């Protein structure tokens, strides 16, 4: 009941970190869309691990196999299912975790919820690996949106205490957005990259990890998309983004910054630009009453530091109900934020496409 | 498609600011629960306007009539519907707004979405008044949760630049939580109240408004509630909270603060307290992998300043497609945050009850 | 969780036979549709009791009040809620039924499901009276469909052993369909009416009741409406129709008759008529693979005899767990089928509109 | 939006007749259930083709691979996905059908709905082959139900004009039910089998096909399962059963037979048997007000004859919009009903398990 999302586009994500395979079914894609598989692979490669000292050395080789949903390379109306085989798994690394939960992970909550029957290896269904199928579906959504003139792109807005220049929520163009998102280290202001990388490496050397913030924009969404209340764009986007492991906060436009503003500052004044209704600021992140107002959609997601760290931590033995020290082995990202940039784009694209259909 | 929420508890909210009535239908409440109507009225009174110079002088007289769903004063299994009549409406105040949208409101987006057929009076279906039916349902949910040993309470964490002491996410007791929430001016540290009130009154005198942050906690939720991914507690709570007008950010536990932390700081270490698994910090806000871990649920929602302000603003004429100055008349809250405290409690209670059933 | 229906059009029905009121909320209606309230009242009058010796003498005076969802008489995009007050209730008639369930009614199943907290008066939420709000929503759906060139109409296909001529599933015109549906006694072949009426009156005199079949057609639905599998038109229509009290069977086109056919008889051959693809027979009732094929939609619903009868029946005392004779008093229809004709039209119209949006 | 079913148990079915694979994801299964894979394979074998002259010679070799959802052979709380590879496909047989639709199939409706982008080979997503993944999920559901004391079984109630003895809706025992369902030719009265087989073979020899009726019973379901209105057991079961290709009618208990009854005949009188409330007849098929009453659930589904027949039929060329004769080649069942018996059991089991969770 949990791993399914959407109104008109139904998304079903399945798999565990170390099961035979993982995948996604998307039901409701428009028929007749030819998927550019080369670009899709490039998109998935942005999320894939094993590329740099900033990320986990686990290599996934995320080759997608489409089981169905395509005919002659184009969507055919039927549900589309893409799967990825799990190879290169090292279950042994996790043998101990069913009894001694890792702080910050879902080990303990899954054990209680499923009464000890959960798959503890590699985080099971809660693994960050499950963002790969989200990216399969999201990568397709991005292509469909682009054909409709909608561009979605994200950047690293913050790593630990190092911050990037935010997107210009009023003037950002599709080309600029794409250029930033496709950088090897996606920041608006390249000069902040070294400090961010240094923060990550410092944490890595300390057997630790760091958190960060990703900012995502969508340009070109028509006015009037979304619904009031529980199906507002903010509710839909937030429900999707909080499904991404490690996200602990979501805000739109000025977000938490609105709290310190006066109405006269925060209200986005209307104007006419090139014959269209626009606003001269974008504190509302392109959304009013849950519905798009034609300005760029601006959303930020806060990521906690990867909970898997090498330093010894306080845990408990669930079987003995006593306190116990835990040292986690295995291969982990010192910072999930870089690889999460395409994941956020995928999540935003899927939520917007669902609202748009 | 929009104003319905929930999995096991289905919530349908209806009404416009100036329609004959507004209300809520809740389907799926457990049968046999006797509603304490006196306490429900007290709860609704916390949201009601017209009580102080800090709020709108509009008096609603929010008398709830239960059309159905009760038998001998207790829930009977059938859908429960509560309605409130709209009286004391002054539609004339809004005559102009269909053509000249108020910045920060949904006037423009609703006009485009519904092609000019929207109800523009008083914000129509987007009015803050629609939080009254949310509070009817939420007030009942709070009573049901309480009977199961779960206490939900909120406080004003911030008004403009004035901040309250946060809840103690590890040690807060049900009694403390309730005591704070039921204060006339609900803050943890009463000494910050005068500065908050001064900030509101200063804005009011300037024909302006201020934003703020509400923090909400839920104590007593069992371990194992919630589901992975899209039905995780964070996704459910966020989808609900972003449906509350003016909310622009939602975070759990340390939230955006996690971004600046290292894993060794952010991970909540496990310990055994009184024979139960606990954590010694609560940066995850009681939720891991979308599932409750037994610690207090901690969530914060950022509210933008009320967009209805008296000072002149830049808008446009939609019919003439030209720029135009707008001065909004009518009765408005200089700060919605105080009255939104029970709304946040209601929203959180409903999302948790839905997850719990 | 139960009294809500639909994908794009969300329908929430609430109320009990003897609660203060009953009603319906419809979310997702297209904005800007002006409801013809005179025609809506006429439609509701077809369902209303108290008009003839063939029906219950209970007079409902089903005056609908629209609480919200309209602006200047037209739908405004916000959820539409219509309520009807319950007057003329005689709860005393039902005092005994909580302990001694009426055979054929939901008295016993509701008592077990809701552990004795159900509203037993008049059948509570299971009362046929709840078809009145269905008709409010359905009456509006019929008007919206008609504006799109889609006509829905039904007739009494059978009362006990007396059968009417079926609709011509290939050639029936919108005008013919409407003419039949709006007859005081809606049959295709008027000469069967006296025998049907005689069957009803004979049952009434015996303190008994009779069942029947209603056939409904929809003409003008475009090709390609509906979805595969669980959202096929047959699944959607059946889920809706089985929600109508007393329906025990639903079939499309030749329905159960298909079982005795060969493929060469049952397959509807294609042809070209007036430049359009048609079929020369309509054994599939206008639906192939869950999707409309442009031919009239043909559906039949079997209604069991009204379970409330005057003759003594075998029941039990739930409190004493012993067998007991039961005589039901109160005012009941000897045959629900006549009044159910507009209910079936409403149900079909709502399911089709949901699929069409 | 279409190929997903359920409230608490979410079922997503994917695949086309000739795509790389087909499969099913089930989300919401209780954790810790050990699947008996031998019995599951036996169950799937009942549906598999290629076993007798009464069925299509296409051999599927329906070997299921579980991609995820299991840990040490038991359900682990995460979504369970089972896939089957498509081998032995002969796409060439279907080359012509995109332009010249087969009568009685979804070729034409799919072409219009998906604007020519549908997968026409082998019926695409509408193929009866998609009942294999339904049986994977249903076979698991049957095992879970059995552990809770609930037995589901079906038989061939009719082939063309030959009818079997119906189940005894009051007295049928789990053992009898299972014994019938597991027969090679599942009928209650074995003496009708030869006539049924003769009817099928006669049709086959004529290049034709025959329809039939399947009756299914579920014994042991507790009282109080199901919900009112749109989530009533009848609505849930019908929505599921009409998703099975070729089903054109669904009825419960006496079903369409109720139409010819009087209330005094049709009402099921209550009695006390072995200290429990029972009924002495079962015309309501174990369901009152959408909720189970403790008696066996009785449901019948009418199957139209396989639309794929060898005899020449009238069709059209969609590209030329002219009439055209069609002869369908390929391997087809002269009667789908025998192989559909486990499909109906699977469908019923899934709907009941969803209601039960």
Interface test with C, best of A27, A80, A356 (most C CBs within 10 A): A27
* Residue B255 phi, psi dihedral angles, 5° rounding: 50, -125
In angstroms, the Cα distances linking D51 to A298, D45, D47 are 59, 9, 10
The sign of the CA dihedral B4, B5, B10, B13 is negative
Is residue C75 predicted with pLDDT exceeding 80? yes
Per-residue pLDDT at A4: 75
Interface test with A, best of C27, C68, C290, C357 (most A CBs within 10 A): C27
Of residues D303, D120, D11, the one with CA closest to residue C230: D11
Per-residue pLDDT of B137-169, as tens digits, reads 999 999 999 999 999 999 999 999 999 999 999
Taking each continuous run of H as one helix and of E as one strand, the counts in chain A are 8, 18
Per-residue pLDDT at C1: 38
CB atoms within 10 A of CB D145: 21
Q: What is the mean pLDDT of residues B308-326?
A: 95
Alpha helices in B148-190 (DSSP H): 174-181
In angstroms, the Cα distances linking C189 to A300, C153, C164, C173, C196 are 67, 15, 6, 16, 11
DSSP A286: T
Distance CA B255, CA D56 (A): 60
Of residues A75, A130, A19, A144, the one with CA closest to residue D19: A75
Distance CA A71, CA D19 (A): 8
Exposed/middle/buried for residue A116 (C-beta within 10 Å: 0-12, 13-18, 19+) = middle
Q: Closest approach of chain A CAs to the CA of C307, in angstroms? A: 37
CB atoms within 10 A of CB A48: 18
What is the chain C residue with the closest CA to D212? Answer: C259
- Looking at the DSSP bridge assignments, the partners of residue B291 are B288
Place of tokens 């959609």: A297
Mean pLDDT in each 10-residue stretch from start to end of chain D (357 residues)?
A: 74 95 96 97 88 58 89 96 84 71 96 95 93 97 98 98 98 96 95 98 96 98 96 96 97 98 98 96 98 98 96 96 90 90 98 96
On whether the CB atoms of residues C296 and C172 are closer than 8 A, the answer is yes
Is residue C247 predicted with pLDDT exceeding 50? yes
Query: Which of D32, D83, D121 has its CB closest to that of A67?
Result: D83
Per-residue pLDDT at A98: 82
Mean pLDDT of chain B: 93
Q: Are strands B70-71 and A270-273 parallel, antiparallel or unpaired?
A: unpaired
Distance CA C72, CA C313 (A): 53
Q: Closest approach of chain B CAs to the CA of C74, in angstroms? A: 8
Distance CA C33, CA C146 (A): 12
* Residue B220 phi, psi dihedral angles, 5° rounding: 105, 0
Distance CA B341, CA B339 (A): 6
Would you place residue B345 in the very low, low, confident or very high pLDDT band (cuts 50, 70, 90)?
very high
Of residues D82, D96, D95, the one with CA closest to residue D12: D82
Q: What is the mean pLDDT of residues C340-352?
A: 98
Per-residue pLDDT at C6: 75
Per-residue pLDDT of A5-42, as tens digits, reads 778 899 999 999 999 999 999 999 999 999 999 999 99
Of A59-63, B211-215, C33-37, D284-288, the poorest mean pLDDT is in A59-63
Of residues D263, D237, D265, D5, the one with CA closest to residue C242: D237
On whether the CB atoms of residues B85 and B20 are closer than 8 A, the answer is yes
Exposed/middle/buried for residue D224 (C-beta within 10 Å: 0-12, 13-18, 19+) = middle
Contact D79 A14 (CB under 8 A): yes
Per-residue pLDDT at B333: 86
Per-residue pLDDT at C5: 77
Q: Which residue has the higher pLDDT, B124 or D61?
A: B124
Residues contacting B54, CB < 8 A, separation 6+: B197, B200, B201, B204, B333, B334, B335, B338
CB atoms within 10 A of CB B351: 29
Is residue C51 predicted with pLDDT exceeding 80? no
Is residue B300 predicted with pLDDT exceeding 70? yes
| B120: its two tokens | 């523009």
Contact D271 C316 (CB under 8 A): yes
CB atoms within 10 A of CB B83: 27
Per-residue pLDDT of C185-236, as tens digits, reads 999 999 999 999 999 999 999 999 999 999 999 999 999 999 999 999 999 9
Contact C68 B115 (CB under 8 A): no
Instruction: Say how many CB pairs under 8 Å bridge A and D.
Output: 184
Report the phi/psi class of residue B38: left, alpha or beta, with left for phi > 0 and alpha for psi in -120 to 50. Answer: alpha
Is residue C17 predicted with pLDDT exceeding 50? yes
Distance CA D44, CA A286 (A): 52
pTM: 0.96
Mapping DSSP to helix (H, G, I), strand (E, B) and coil, where does residue D87 land? Answer: coil
Length of chain C: 357
Per-residue pLDDT at D114: 96
Contact A248 B243 (CB under 8 A): no
Distance CA D72, CA D68 (A): 11
On whether the CB atoms of residues B305 and B213 are closer than 8 A, the answer is no
Is residue A121 predicted with pLDDT exceeding 50? yes
The sign of the CA dihedral A281, A283, A289, A292 is positive
Residues contacting B51, CB < 8 A, separation 6+: none
Per-residue pLDDT at C49: 77
Residues contacting D283, CB < 8 A, separation 6+: C304, D253, D254, D257, D258, D261, D265, D266, D267, D268
- Residues D163-179 as b/e (b if ≥16 CB within 10 A, e otherwise) read bbebbebeebebebbee
Residues B197-200: contacts with CB within 8 Å, 24+ apart?
B197/B54, B199/B159, B199/B160, B199/B161, B199/B162, B199/B335, B200/B54, B200/B159, B200/B334, B200/B335, B200/B338
For chain A, what percent of residues have pLDDT higher than 90?
88
Interface test with D, best of A24, A28, A34, A81 (most D CBs within 10 A): A81
Alpha helices in chain D (DSSP H): 37-47, 107-113, 131-147, 174-181, 193-205, 233-241, 263-266, 337-356
Angle (CA) A136-A137-A142 rounded to 5° is 100
Is residue A353 predicted with pLDDT exceeding 60? yes
The sign of the CA dihedral A48, A52, A55, A57 is positive
Q: Which ipTM did the prediction report?
A: 0.96
Alpha carbon A225 to its chain centroid, in Å, reads 21
* Residue D35 phi, psi dihedral angles, 5° rounding: -80, 130
Query: Which of B206, B256, B304 has its CB closest to that of A213?
Result: B256
Other chains touching D, judged by 3 or more CB pairs under 8 Å: A, B, C
Q: Which residues in chain A are contacts of D124 at CB distance < 8 A?
A: 71, 76, 78
Distance CA B167, CA B177 (A): 8
CB atoms within 10 A of CB A178: 14
Alpha carbon C82 to its chain centroid, in Å, reads 18
Mapping DSSP to helix (H, G, I), strand (E, B) and coil, where does residue A39 land? Answer: helix
What is the chain C residue with the closest CA to B118? Answer: C76
Distance CA B159, CA A260 (A): 7
Contact A284 B101 (CB under 8 A): no
Radius of gyration of chain C (CA): 21
DSSP C343: H
Per-residue pLDDT at B313: 97
Q: Closest approach of chain B CAs to the CA of D346, in angstroms? A: 24
Distance CA D271, CA D344 (A): 31
Per-residue pLDDT at D329: 78
Contact A126 B280 (CB under 8 A): no
Alpha carbons within 13 A on the beta-carbon side of C189: 13
> What's the domain range around C74?
4-356
Per-residue pLDDT of B249-272, as tens digits, reads 999 999 999 999 999 999 999 999
Q: Which residues in chain A are contacts of D67 at CB distance < 8 A?
A: 14-15, 19-23, 83
Other chains touching A, judged by 3 or more CB pairs under 8 Å: B, C, D
Per-residue pLDDT at A1: 39
DSSP C346: H
Instruction: Say how many CB pairs under 8 Å bridge B and C.
Output: 182
Per-residue pLDDT at D5: 77
Q: Which residues in chain B are contacts of C4 at CB distance < 8 A?
A: 4, 10, 12, 27
Is residue B108 predicted with pLDDT exceeding 60? yes
CATH of the domain at D18: 3.60.150.10
Instruction: Say how many CB pairs under 8 Å bridge A and C.
Output: 4
Distance CA C274, CA C78 (A): 41
Contact A16 D78 (CB under 8 A): yes
Residues contacting C197, CB < 8 A, separation 6+: C54, C185
Query: Which of D67, D71, D113 has its CB closest to that of A119?
Result: D71
Per-residue pLDDT at B144: 98
| Domain count along chain C | 1
Is residue B1 predicted with pLDDT exceeding 50? no
For chain C, what percent of residues have pLDDT higher than 90?
88
Residues contacting D154, CB < 8 A, separation 6+: D181, D186, D214, D215, D216, D217, D341, D342, D344, D345, D348
Contact C252 D248 (CB under 8 A): yes
- Looking at the DSSP bridge assignments, the partners of residue D74 are D34, D71
Per-residue pLDDT of B59-74, as tens digits, reads 555 689 999 999 999 9
* Residue C112 phi, psi dihedral angles, 5° rounding: -75, -45
């Amino acid at each position: 009941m949990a791993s399914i999302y959407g109104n008109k586009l139904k998304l079903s994500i399945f798999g565990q970190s170390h099961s035979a395979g993982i995948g996604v079914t998307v039901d409701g894609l428009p028929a007749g869309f030819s998927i550019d598989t080369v670009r899709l692979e490039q998109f998935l490669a942005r999320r894939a691990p094993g590329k740099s000292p900033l990320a986990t050395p686990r290599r996934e080789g995320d080759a997608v196999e489409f089981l169905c949903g395509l005919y002659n390379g184009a969507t055919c109306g039927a549900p589309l299912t893409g799967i990825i085989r799990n190879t290169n798994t090292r279950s042994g690394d996790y043998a101990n975790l069913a009894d001694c939960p890792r702080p910050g992970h879902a080990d303990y909550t899954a054990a209680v919820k499923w009464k000890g029957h959960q798959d503890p290896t590699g985080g099971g269904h809660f693994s960050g690996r499950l963002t790969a199928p989200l990216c399969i579906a999201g990568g397709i959504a991005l292509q469909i949106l682009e054909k409709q003139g909608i561009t979605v792109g994200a950047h690293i807005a913050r790593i630990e205490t190092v911050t990037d220049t935010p997107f210009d929520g009023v003037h950002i163009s599709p080309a600029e957005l794409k250029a930033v998102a496709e950088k090897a280290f996606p920041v608006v202001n390249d000069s902040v990259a070294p400090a961010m990388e240094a923060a990550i490496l410092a944490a890595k050397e300390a057997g630790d990890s760091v958190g960060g913030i990703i900012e995502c924009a969508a340009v070109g969404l028509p006015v009037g998309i979304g619904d009031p209340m529980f199906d507002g764009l903010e509710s839909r986007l937030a429900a999707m983004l909080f499904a991404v492991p490690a996200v602990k906060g979501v805000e739109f436009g000025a977000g938490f910054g609105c709290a310190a503003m006066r109405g006269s500052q925060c209200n986005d004044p209307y104007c006419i630009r090139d014959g269209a209704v626009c606003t001269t600021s974008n504190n509302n992140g392109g959304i009013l009453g849950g519905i798009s107002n034609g300005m760029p959609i601006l959303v930020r997601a806060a990521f906690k530091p990867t909970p898997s760290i090498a330093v010894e931590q306080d845990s408990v033995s669930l079987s003995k109900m006593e306190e116990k020290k835990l040292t986690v082995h295995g291969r982990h990202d010192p910072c999930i934020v870089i690889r999460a940039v395409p994941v956020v784009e995928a999540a935003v694209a899927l939520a917007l496409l669902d609202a748009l259909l």
